[in-house]
Amino acid sequence: MGRYVVGRLVQAGVTVAIVATVTFALIHLAPGDPFTQALDDPAVSAEVRALWRAKYGLDLPLYEQYWRYLLNVARGDLGWSVTLHEPVSAALARALPSSLLLMGTAILLSFAAGIALGVVQAARPGSWVDRALGTVSLFFHALPEFWLALMMLLVFAYRLPLFPVGNVVDPLLYDYYTPWQKLVDRLRHLVLPSATLALLLTAGVARFQRAALLEVSGEDFVRTARAKGLGERRVLLRHALRNALLPVITLFGVTVPALVAGAVFVEKVFAWPGMGLLAVSAIMTRDYWLVTACVVVVSAMVALGSLAADLLYAVADPRLRAR
């Protein structure tokens, strides 16, 4: 088991390294170099420029720059954001927790709801409940995230003023709240964005869970369970589902890229100051180091998410545990 974990960690590391390399290559292949914009900025003093030259080895041949870049990344130095005028790591340190809160909430909600829906559908396949839920699922799965976000805003923030229209906390009043009010305020602001993200993912999870459960339901051991005199509920929830949850765990790892992609739009519409918003503005303003860092961090999140899913699977399936 230990060897398996180490092996997967190495794999994850390799993937992140590949992504970092590709990003580096892309940046240097692009017209202009990362520092043209900054270097032309008259506000930047000659000393700072010299400092940068030395630190990032701008005068060195490409492969040396690449090597330094890797070293820097490994050390946690992700460069300097020329638009935000601060180290990239500082900008990330601000944005990452917000994103994790949003994405974490969304993924938990979507898996809980998705699994439940999938079970309900698979319990009576072909029934009107199954078909209705299936169509609703299909609909939500097909929605553009930004559109759903806008519609949620329209209905729940504008037409029915239940929730705020954006941000993490109330920009004016937050500092004057009691701790309890602060918590409530945070939660109120979290609801719409995370619900939007969750709605999009739930459909996918439900479809998958339904299919997995139906497949397992055809297995011999389910027939044995019935032959033992167990009730349908117990057969479904204890014998079938326990096996059908396994593939859903792998889905967990695959969902993270979709989650991040959706988060980009949700953050924009709800003005949620997370990684997505950061990445988009960095790209728009051509803040290269920030872009690189965002892409690398995101791919690291994806790799870790997939790793976590694999580990969870290895623990959950007794056939793998013995190894």
Window 10 to 49, contacts with another protein (CB under 8 A): 14-15, 18-19, 22-23, 26-27, 30-31
**116: buried, middle or exposed (CB in 10 Å: 19+, 13-18, 0-12)?**
middle
Nearer Cβ to another protein (48/246): 246
For the window 225-264, what string marks contact with another protein as x by the rule CB under 8 A?
xxxxxxxx-x----x--xx-------------xx-xx--x
Closest separation between CB of residue 188 and another protein, Å? 18
Say how far apart CA 254 and CA 303 lie, in whole Å.
10
Residue with tokens 């964005």: 193
Say how far apart CA 121 and CA 323 lie, in whole Å.
35
Tell me how many residues contact another protein (CB under 8 A). 82
Closest separation between CB of residue 213 and another protein, Å? 10
The answer to the question of residue 205 lying near another protein (CB under 8 A) is no
Closest separation between CB of residue 41 and another protein, Å? 19
Nearer Cβ to another protein (85/242): 242
Nearer Cβ to another protein (3/323): 323
The answer to the question of residue 65 lying near another protein (CB under 8 A) is no
**101: buried, middle or exposed (CB in 10 Å: 19+, 13-18, 0-12)?**
middle
Nearer Cβ to another protein (55/223): 223
Contact region for another protein (CB under 8 A) — 38-46, 96-104, 170-178, 314-322? 314-322
Instruction: Count the residues in the chain.
Output: 323
Say how far apart CA 175 and CA 195 lie, in whole Å.
26
H or E stretch including 172? none
Say how far apart CA 251 and CA 259 lie, in whole Å.
12
The answer to the question of residue 299 lying near another protein (CB under 8 A) is yes
Residue with tokens 């479809």: 207
Q: Which of 248, 294, 307, 309 binds another protein (CB under 8 A)?
A: 294
The answer to the question of residue 189 lying near another protein (CB under 8 A) is no
AA identity, residue 102:
L
Nearer Cβ to another protein (46/227): 227
Closest separation between CB of residue 75 and another protein, Å? 22
Nearer Cβ to another protein (194/217): 217
CB atoms within 10 A of CB 73: 18
Closest separation between CB of residue 247 and another protein, Å? 13
Q: How many CA atoms lie within 13 A of 86 on its CB side?
A: 7
Nearer Cβ to another protein (168/294): 294
Closest separation between CB of residue 176 and another protein, Å? 26
AA identity, residue 113:
A
**201: buried, middle or exposed (CB in 10 Å: 19+, 13-18, 0-12)?**
buried
CB atoms within 10 A of CB 322: 7
Q: Using only C-alpha atoms, what is the Rg of the chain?
A: 24
Closest separation between CB of residue 257 and another protein, Å? 5
The answer to the question of residue 7 lying near another protein (CB under 8 A) is no
For the window 136-175, what string marks contact with another protein as x by the rule CB under 8 A?
--xx-xxxxxxx--xx-xx--xxx-----x----------
